[in-house]
Amino acid sequence: MAITEQQIIDALRTVKDPDLHKDLVTLRMIKEIKIDGSDVSFTVDLTTPACPLKEKIEEDCREALGGIPGIGTISITMTATVRATQARGVQQIEMPGVKTVIAVASGKGGVGKSTVAANLACALAQMGASVGLMDADIYGPSIPLIMGIEDAQVEVDEAKEQLIPIERFGVKVISMGFLQRASSSAVIWRGPMVSKAVQQFLRDVRWGDIDYLIVDLPPGTGDAQLTLSQAIPLTGAVVVMTPQDAAASVAVKAISMFRRLDVPILGIIENMSFFLCPTCNCRHDIFSHGGGHQAADALEVPFLGEIPLHAQIRAEADEGTPTVVISPDSAEAEAFVRVAEAVAQQVSIAVRRAPIDLQVVP
């Protein structure tokens, strides 16, 4: 007896996306089912190219279809389409091509936000996502240095009054650092207010189609954070902390601010978590690591992973080549990739949950 499409769909209804807790059919992830006698092919369209569970989901599909009597060859194509964040409440700035926006924040300075933001952006781009990196540190931009584009001149589309981001390591980058030396164009922001600059980076940059726009924030809970949260439906914030941030009170500050602003918390990243000795490659827990995990548990937010303290990470950032780009096979790069996967996972979950959180605006 020939296999029917209904049999395939029924079987795939038993396969769940472990993060989204729904079956692949309900999640509309199954596309292009083709049946040729007893042979079957179809596509599973995941919500991120950075899905760490890709193999498991494919395996689960095979197992589910294996139960159909008389089934022949099963060909599965795994693809990914990042789903867009739904608008919440009143939106000041429309960013039609930008599907998700992720703020990288911290309660205090120097914890490694910019280093983490740059490596996350590059890692997601390496995994096949279209990525933007917006440096919202208006007075102390460090992204141009870390990405090795300190001398870049930003181009301006005068007719459309748009800034064209600089493309580097497959990531579209914008930073105040590019504008300080730029021409006398009218679109270039010169005002005194951080919030004006952040708004311009959201509104007047030709981002194009972006799966993940990573925003590197200045430390603390100031104007940039406020503007970003109010101007657009932020998909979520990740909070970077170091193990020394005793009792995590610093992380608490950042998290409470985003909660007040109705921004979902994607999770906590512990940076400079443990010392990875460059000579013997063994791990030393100098600052009694684990604070990030404890803080995440206490605040009931996901823990996204830990990045070791390693001289190489600093040196590579200073040389303008983020670790995941220049040393992709190192243990440090591996840590950044794991964190990038965890962030992408939480973004998928936040996007899926968003409509339920939708505020009703009278």
Ligand X SMILES: Nc1ncnc2c1ncn2[C@@H]1O[C@H](COP(=O)(O)OP(=O)(O)OP(=O)(O)O)[C@@H](O)[C@H]1O
Interface residue list for Mg ion (CB under 5 A): 113-114, 142
Look at residues 68, 79, 74, 64 and name the one whose alpha carbon lies nearest to residue 13: 64
**Which of 138, 143, 237, 307 contacts ligand X by CB under 6 A?**
307
Q: Is 111 in the site for ligand X (CB under 6 A)?
A: yes
Report residue 259 as tokens: 């909660």
How many residues touch ligand X under the rule CB under 6 A: the total is: 21
Contacting ligand X (CB under 6 A), which of 175, 271, 330, 348?
Answer: 271
Q: Is 137 in the site for ligand X (CB under 6 A)?
A: yes
**272 near ligand X, judged by CB under 6 A:** yes
Nearer to Mg ion, 142 or 225 (CB): 142
Q: Least distance to ligand X from the beta carbon of 213, Å?
A: 17
**Interatomic CA distance for residues 6 and 119, integer angstroms:** 44
Out of 47, 100, 115, 199, the only residue in the binding site for ligand X (CB under 6 A) is 115
136 binds, among ligand X, Mg ion, none (CB under 5 to 8 A by kind): none
Minimum distance from residue 82 beta carbon to ligand X (Å): 25
Which of residues 150 and 262 has its CB atom nearest to Mg ion in the complex?
150
For 182, 207, 319, the CA distances from 148, given in Å and listed in that order, are 17, 20, 7
Binding of ligand X by 109 (CB under 6 A)? yes
Binding flag, residue 324, ligand X (CB under 6 A): no
| Alpha-carbon gap, residue 341 to 212, rounded angstroms | 12
* C-alpha angle 146-84-144 in degrees, rounded to nearest 5: 10
Residue 13 buriedness (CB in 10 A; 0-12 / 13-18 / 19+): middle
User: What's the CA gap between 94 and 84, in Å, rounded?
Assistant: 13
Q: What is the DSSP letter of 275?
A: E
Residue type, 265: I
Nearer to ligand X, 3 or 214 (CB): 214
In the complex, what is the shortest distance from the CB of residue 282 to Mg ion, in angstroms, rounded to a whole number? 29
Provide, rounded to whole angstroms, the least separation between the CB of residue 1 and ligand X: 59
272's contact among Mg ion, ligand X, none, with CB below 5 to 8 A by partner kind, is ligand X
Residue 322 within binding range of ligand X, rule CB under 6 A: no
Write down the residue that tokens 């906590």 correspond to. Answer: 268
Cα 315 from Cα 148, distance rounded (Å): 12
- Least spacing, CB of residue 260 vs ligand X, in Å: 21
Q: Which is nearer to ligand X, 60 or 332 (CB)?
A: 332
Cα distance between residue 204 and residue 213, in whole Å = 14
What is 98-158 written as a DSSP string? EEEEEEEE-SSTTSSHHHHHHHHHHHHHHTT--EEEEE--SSS--HHHHTT-TT---EEET
List the one residue out of 222, 254, 226 whose CA is nearest residue 238: 254
Q: Which is nearer to Mg ion, 29 or 117 (CB)?
A: 117
Q: Does position 219 bind ligand X by CB under 6 A?
A: yes
225 touching ligand X, by CB under 6 A: no
How many CB atoms are closer than 10 A to CB 170? 15
Q: Is the CB of 8 or the CB of 214 nearer to Mg ion?
A: 214
d(Cα 61, Cα 64) in Å, to the nearest integer? 5
Smallest distance, Å, CB 257 to ligand X?
Answer: 15
Interatomic CA distance for residues 214 and 19, integer angstroms:
22
Of the pair 119, 142, the CB lying nearest Mg ion is at: 142
Task: Tell me which of ligand X, Mg ion, none is bound by residue 219, counting a contact when its beta carbon lies within the kind-specific cut-off of 5 to 8 angstroms.
Answer: ligand X
CB of 205 to ligand X, least distance (A): 20
Number of residue whose CB is nearest Mg ion? 114
Q: Which residues bind ligand X (CB under 6 A)?
A: 106, 109-115, 137, 140, 142, 218-219, 271-272, 307, 309-310, 313-314, 317
